[in-house]
A and B are shown apart, each in its own frame.
Chain A
Amino acid sequence: MDNATERVERQRESSQALFGKKAAKIDQLWALARECADENWDGTGAAAIEIGAVLRTEGFLRALPDRVPLPELAVEPDGAVSLDWIRSPRRLVSVSVGRGSRLAFAWLDGTNRGHAVERFDGETVPGPILERIEAVVGNGDAALRAP
């Protein structure tokens, strides 16, 4: 193979690997949806997961740029889905995806903390959320892994 062909082949393999990771994360999301499909799934009165939140989360995961590590997933007591980028207990970002297009997020970065709301159009992850994620975990940070 010439250099150009090799580059294309490497990019194709890289895309397949990334798609595989996203596909696995989306599978995990739907498994979570099944686990939390009934009210009181946590034993302390949580609402059932909202299917609209699951669908919007799937869209958010697909829209994440490939350079951004994939998040941890959790279900919130009101039925929304939480996407967490956790570098350490003192460095993390948490995004909440519910039925609507406005996404709540909050962060802790050492002594710096805050919260905000951004609109997600279903195709592009809002810039302020991406910036916060990248500030906390960096690009492709290996520290960010599921248990």
Chain B
Amino acid sequence: MLPSGLPEIVADGEDLARFLTSSSQYTARMAKPAAFLPAPKGRETSVFRHGAEPADALWAIGERIVAGSRTIHGAAVVKAGDVRASGLGVFAEEPPPRHATIRGWPWRDDDPELQKAQQKELAILVASDATLVWRFP
């Protein structure tokens, strides 16, 4: 068991929330694929093991850990099983509490553009399965 009380293995049925800090990361209907692409340093995408409800708890995580001076516009919520079905991995990574990472993104030092194209295809799949949760509906 992790310090947060969550199991060490992220179950397929668990919700993962990716916080959105820029209005450019989503449209009226969906989170854009870029919102799920990995950060270049860790080669992973940071998410939190939390669904749309309870909303107060979701936004509290966003404010406490991600926001800083930024505004949390909303979150893209996707099932861990859908991420895995895209060919990526989901792993618990605390601290901070409830934190997890999406890993296994294609990485090709010999061809960065092909690497990006492969990553985008996977990010599109994840984004198409995600549900957009507005903070300020």
Contact = CB atoms under 8 A, between A and B. Distances in A.
Contact of A44 (B28, B46, B117, B120): B46
A84 B32 contact: yes
Contact of B124 (A32, A46, A94): A94
B59 interface: no
Nearest to B72: A43
B19 A115 contact: no
Interface of B: 19, 21-30, 32-35, 37-42, 45-46, 66-68, 70, 111-118, 120-121, 123-125, 127-128
Nearest to A82: B34
Nearest to A90: B128
Interface of A: 32, 35-36, 41-47, 72-78, 80, 82, 84, 86, 88-90, 92, 94, 96, 98, 100, 102-108, 113-117, 146-147
Given A92-B124, A94-B120, A45 B41 contact: yes
7 contacts: A74-B35, A86-B27, A86-B30, A86-B32, A94-B124, A104-B116, A113-B124
Contacts of B40: 45, 47, 77-78
B24 A75 contact: yes
Given A44-B66, A77-B39, A77-B40, A86 B29 contact: yes
Contacts of B28: 147
Contact of A104 (B22, B35, B120, B128): B120
A82 B32 contact: yes
A94 to B, nearest CB: 5
Contact of A89 (B24, B30, B34, B117): B30
Interface centre among B26, B38, B124, B128 (most CB of A within 10 A): B124
